[in-house]
Structure 1
């Protein structure tokens, strides 16, 4: 039996729904964690675990429909690789940004907060911009290496990477322009001032492009895996 074709409309819907769910989890878990604990480290942990977990779920469930990018930087990487057309890629980006903003509004509604908010949370400086570049570099490298060596493990690899990157980056690893934009619309634990968003986005794009270049060299076609004795 021939598998049904996934139409562009369904792909765009999957990207919008997935990004909305991701941002609702990031913002909602941040609100909950901040309300339950005065300790910033505990609150960050309460924000981290749900984010990593929801990524595993969303990529597993929506990956077969759209590829589960949920991230304009990732979509751009696949467009540059010729694995998605630029017209559809632009649609993905619009769906991701719109879905992300809706995710912030949904989180506010679930916690009975004013739905429309503008963040006042300062997130700027060279260390945070470098952190966003590193986070995006790592995310793209993990995705491309995972697709090459362990495609079935992509949901777990991405979820675990973001879980770790929350803690080893100064920025708590947004690594996603759509998420950065959406988090400007929440004046809660997960927020970021709108004025700080452009530098985050530029850093994320730069990191993603560097990840594409480095991973492309490391994983060049025809590169054989090392024998087990060498890997050990």
Structure 2
């Protein structure tokens, strides 16, 4: 999410660290709240998903608010890709952001495992595959990118809340529960808990996510252009 930030305000290293910190805390929240929800829900999957969704949306609002002015608070390789295509992030920064996002996402999963006394290194056995799941990931990512670009265009201070609310909603209106993030998808393949996904199923999710993000970029490039800009 590209919030207003003067390019010279923060060093390159601080921006990359902010991307890693935000992504790591996001994954610790996703996986940790999933473990907690499954433990306390008494087998009620709907309650567990609701708790997981609320925690994820809430942490996104916080993380985007505090880290957005530093790095833009992407926390997502496809968001970084979209802003690179828009010419707002350099190739060097994009590659550094994506490496930091993926690396920190894995660390966030491991942190959640340690906090809940789980084995640190795991491989998910959770099956998430098939056309409805892939379509859901494309739709979820499309909606996320449209939300970000639309909020930036019309109400930039509302970006953190808009993204948090969108993710809570997408947990429920998509069959895949809205991963919408390749770094998140990869990291969640390394947790055999409530929020996991089999490694074999992750690549198709990532392809769908990239496709959804590119579609949103193309649509918004047309939709958000006023008469004066045409």
Give the TM-score range, shorter chain: over 0.9
Kindly name which structure, 1 or 2, has the bigger radius of gyration based on alpha carbons.
Answer: 1
Structure 2 Cα separation of the partners of residues 41 and 96 of structure 1: 29
Superposed CA deviations along residues 105-138 of structure 1, whole A, max 9, x for unmatched, are 0000000111111101000000000000000000
**5+ residue gaps, structure 1:** 225-232
Residue matched to 1:216: 221
Structure 2 Cα separation of the partners of residues 187 and 159 of structure 1: 25
- TM-score where L is the length of structure 1: 0.94
Superposed CA deviations along residues 173-232 of structure 1, whole A, max 9, x for unmatched, are 0000000001011000000001111000000000000001111111015469xxxxxxxx
Residue matched to 1:62: 67
Residue matched to 1:229: none
Structure 1 Cα separation of the partners of residues 116 and 127 of structure 2: 23
Q: Any idea what SS the aligned residue of 1:165 has? A: helix
**5+ residue gaps, structure 2:** 1-5
Q: 1:51 aligns with which of 45, 50, 56?
A: 56
Residue matched to 2:89: 84
Superposed CA deviations along residues 137-164 of structure 1, whole A, max 9, x for unmatched, are 0000010010000000000000000000
Residue matched to 1:12: 16
Residue matched to 2:197: 192
Structure 2 Cα separation of the partners of residues 153 and 80 of structure 1: 23
Shift >2 Å, 4+ stretches:
2-5, 221-224
Q: Any idea what SS the aligned residue of 1:135 has? A: helix
Structure 1 Cα separation of the partners of residues 54 and 200 of structure 2: 28
Residue matched to 1:30: 34
Residue matched to 2:3: none
